[in-house]
Amino acid sequence: MLLSPVGSPRKTLASLSWIPDANLELRLPIELIIYIAELAAQSSKKSSLSLCLVSSWIRQVTLPHLYMTLVLHDKVPISLVPSPFYASSFSTRSRFASESSPVEYMRHLWVDVSREIWPYTFSGCTQLTMLAMHLDCHEALCQTDDFYASDPPPCRSFTVLGQSHTIRWANLTNSPQGLSFLNGLTHLRLLNMCLSPYIPLINMPNLTHLCLPFFDFRTNDGSGSEFSGLDPILEFTNLKLIVLTLNPRYWRFEAMSLKRWAILAMEKDDRLHVVASIRVDATKDWEDAKKDWESEARGGESIWDKAIAVRKKFMSRGQV
């Protein structure tokens, strides 16, 4: 909308005086333009998409922010899923990591999709630092030379969606690429361990942060040793922070409150932290975990930050 000069509401643009020699070129330092474009791209995906249409060089500035964090799930129309994630479309690393591929910009990837659009490989994802996926997608990890050749491997954080029993872990522990991937991990979150409490910690010497559902480890033999299931984990001295997620919606205790259980856990070991995490359906519900993951990917509060804050809150009240 074009506005007339103040005090002259009836004048049109044609009636305004024109100065032929006026220089109307906008002069801004290129660094400032790039900075403004980056801020706009970081603000929202919609802004990133709009900026990609401005010019080719603005597009190059914007793409790293547009593809930095990707969340893929079955609710996304298959036509909108980037082609590098079609397992049937890529049989070699060179085809996957082409110049036009967005994978080179990815740093955070959440993959919760049906089998036909599982990633074929993560080769070319040289900046990938956070990954969330099912262990059934192990082929993508085992066909990724980047994890095997890089020192250190690029990905440091892994969230396992769904079950994580021994058989599914074996697909990684029996592969050189899988072992290299596990060796490079520093942060691991498990969402469902109902079938097996097994974690290949022996293959994760660099792991310092571990998050798991306490209900799957709780023992109830009447001896008061409800935390004995955690003893094998506590033996790994390289672990600095262990977060137990408690589901207040389905947690039932005889005579002890959820708060008291949290205090008992933190009294058992200084590394133990407790966070409430609602899980309606243990087999497929990880909405809380997804929110934590996205928050961390955006630079906000992570599950680890939240756990430390909860512990400090208890300690400030003199309860631990």
| Secondary structure of the chain as H, E, C letters | CCCCCCCCCCCCHHHCCCCCCCCCCCCCCHHHHHHHHHHHHHHCHHHHHHHCCCCHHHHHHHHHHHCCEEEEECCCCHHHCCHHHCHHHCCCHHHHCCCCCHHHHCCEEEEECCHHHCCCCCCCCCCCCEEEEEHHHHHHHHCCHHHHHCCCCCCCEEEEEEECCHHHHHHHHCCHHHHHHHHHCCEEEEEECCCCCCCCHHHCCCCCEEEEEHHHCCCCCCCCCCCHHHHHHHCCCCCCEEEEEECCCCCCCCCCCHHHHHHHHHHHCCCEEEEECCCCCCCCCCHHHHHHHHHHHCCCCCHHHHHHHHHHHHHHCCCC
Instruction: Note the residue count of the chain.
Output: 320
Residue 28 has pLDDT above 70, yes or no: yes
Cα 214 to the chain's mean position, in Å?
21
* pLDDT value of position 265: 79
The residue type found at 105 is Y
Q: Which of 54-63, 227-236, 252-261 has the highest mean pLDDT?
A: 227-236
User: Given this model, what pLDDT does residue 156 score?
Assistant: 93
Q: For a pLDDT cut of 90, what percent of the chain falls above it?
A: 19
pLDDT at 29 over 60: yes
Mean confidence (pLDDT) of the chain: 76
Mean pLDDT of the region 26-50: 77
State the pLDDT at residue 238: 95
pLDDT digits (tens, 9 = 90+) for 183-222: 999 999 998 887 788 899 999 999 999 999 887 666 665 5
The pLDDT of residue 87 is 45
Say which range, 195-199, 281-285, 299-303, has the weakest mean pLDDT.
281-285
Q: For the chain, which residues make up each domain, given as ranges?
A: 27-66
Q: What are phi and psi of 108, to 5 degrees?
A: -130, 125
Let me know: does 134 contact 162? Beta carbons within 8 Å. yes
Answer whether residue 318 shows pLDDT above 90: no
Which range has the worst mean pLDDT, 5-9, 55-59, 79-83?
Answer: 5-9
pLDDT at 19 exceeding the cut of 70:
no
Q: Is the pLDDT of residue 182 over 80?
A: yes
Q: What is the pLDDT of residue 89?
A: 42
pLDDT at 241 over 60: yes
- Helix 30-43 to helix 56-66 angle, to the nearest 10 degrees? 40
Question: How much is the pLDDT for 82?
Answer: 52
Residues 268-295 have a mean pLDDT of 80
Confidence of residue 50 (pLDDT cuts 50, 70, 90): confident
pLDDT at 171: 87
Other Cβ atoms less than 10 A from the Cβ of 230: the count is 21
At residue 300, does pLDDT exceed 50? Answer: yes
| CA-based nearest residue to 288, from 257, 233, 234, 243 | 243
CA distance 139 to 25: 54
Crossing angle for the helix pair 176-184 and 166-173, to the nearest 10 degrees: 100
C-alpha atoms less than 13 angstroms from C-alpha of 86 in its C-beta half-sphere: 12
The residues that bridge with 137 in the sheet, in sequence order, are: none
Q: pLDDT (tens digit, 9 = 90+) per residue, 97-152?
A: 444 567 788 899 998 887 777 777 777 787 889 999 988 888 888 877 766 666 66
- CA 196 vs. chain centroid, Å, equals 24
The better pLDDT of the pair 70, 280 is held by 70
Q: What is the pLDDT of residue 280?
A: 58
Is 194:282 a contact under the CB 8 Å cutoff?
Answer: yes
Return the percentage of the chain with pLDDT > 70, whole number: 70
- For residue 42, give both structure tokens: 């970081």
- Strand order of the sheet with strand 157-163? 69-73, 108-112, 130-134, 157-163, 187-192, 209-213, 241-246, 272-276
